[in-house]
Amino acid sequence: MAHSSVELPEDQAARLQHLATFRATTAEALLAEVARSLVADADALESWLGEGEAQAVAGRTVPFEQVMADLDDIIARARTA
């Protein structure tokens, strides 16, 4: 397992320690959780963008004008609801 270190301003380090204590864990465990979440989110976004690119390359797109018209309809219905 790789080890990393971060430098934080004192107030942020204190807040992180407070959160860790509140959650009955360590600051290091919280940082590891955030790092895993960030990587997972980045992977999901990359996958989603790849799927969208594949759809566009295959010609499965919606013209901009149609998207805008659909959004205008949604907004108009929301205003009358």
The token duo for 15 is 């807040």
| pLDDT at position 59 | 95
Categorize the per-residue pLDDT at 69 as very low, low, confident or very high, splitting at 50, 70 and 90. very high
1 assigned to some structural domain: no
- Domain contains 3: no
Query: Using alpha carbons only, what angle is made at residue 42 by residues 38 and 43, rounded to the nearest 5 degrees?
Result: 115
Q: Which residues have a Cβ under 8 Å from the Cβ of 61 and sit 6 or more positions away?
A: 55
Give the per-residue pLDDT at 9. 97
Q: Is the residue at 37 inside a domain?
A: yes
| 3-state DSSP assignment of residue 61 | coil
Report the number of distinct structural domains present in the chain: 1
Q: How confident is the model at residue 21 (pLDDT cuts 50, 70, 90)?
A: very high
Asked whether residue 70 is domain-assigned, the answer is yes
Check residue 81 and give its pLDDT: 82
Print the domain residue range for 27.
10-80
pLDDT 10s digits, 41-61: 999 999 999 999 999 999 999
